[in-house]
Amino acid sequence: MAKEKGRKLIAQNKKARHDYLIIDTYEAGLVLTGTEVKSLRQGRASLVDGFVQLDGHEAWLHNVHVPEYSQGTWTNHTARRKRKLLLHRAEIDKLESKSQETGHTIVPLALYFKDGRAKVEIALAKGKKEYDKRQTLREKQDRRETERAISAVRRKQRA
């Protein structure tokens, strides 16, 4: 069987980018059971309520929903169990020191397969206030309107 190449996205947490200001991102491996991997290969997972907790110099992923494998037997996994993240010691120490600051948290952004191995992209993030969310939305709309205006002018110039 040929080895997989590239990146295959399984799940993405778009709400995290809306609710948090992303400061730094990391790629971490996941410790999974066989039925979890098979369920992920079917493209089924949800990161919506997920968060990362650091305890005892280890990183753990909580509240990520990986549904039970449909052909699984009594060895099937629980859908919302905590999963260990594989990070370098220096990365864990850095995350631990930064997450102690007020308002900082660690959230999962994406779950994917990279060269056949399950990976999760986590981010050190700071919660946005309501007015920050509105400001970000306004900037996005303004950018979109200017791009539309520029493309309309270019279309007229070509015609």
Where do the H-state alpha helices sit in 75-129?
89-99
Instruction: State mean pLDDT over 43-68.
Output: 86
Query: pLDDT tens for residues 7-53?
Result: 888 889 888 888 888 898 999 999 888 878 888 888 878 888 888 88
With a cut of 80, say whether residue 72 has pLDDT above it. Answer: no
Q: pTM of the entire structure?
A: 0.74
Instruction: State mean pLDDT over 140-157.
Output: 91
Q: Mean pLDDT: which of 2-11, 59-68, 70-79, 89-98 is highest?
A: 89-98
User: Residue 35: which H helix or E strand, with range?
Assistant: helix 34-41
Q: How far apart are CA 123 and CA 97, in angstroms?
A: 14
Q: How far apart are CA 116 and CA 128, in angstroms?
A: 35
The candidate with the shortest Cα–Cα distance to 122, out of 133, 137, 111, is 111
Domain ranges of the chain: 7-128, 129-158
| Architecture of the domain whose range is 7-128 | Beta Barrel (2.40)
Do the Cβ atoms of 63 and 49 come closer than 8 Å?
Answer: yes
With a cut of 70, say whether residue 136 has pLDDT above it. Answer: yes
pLDDT at 103: 79
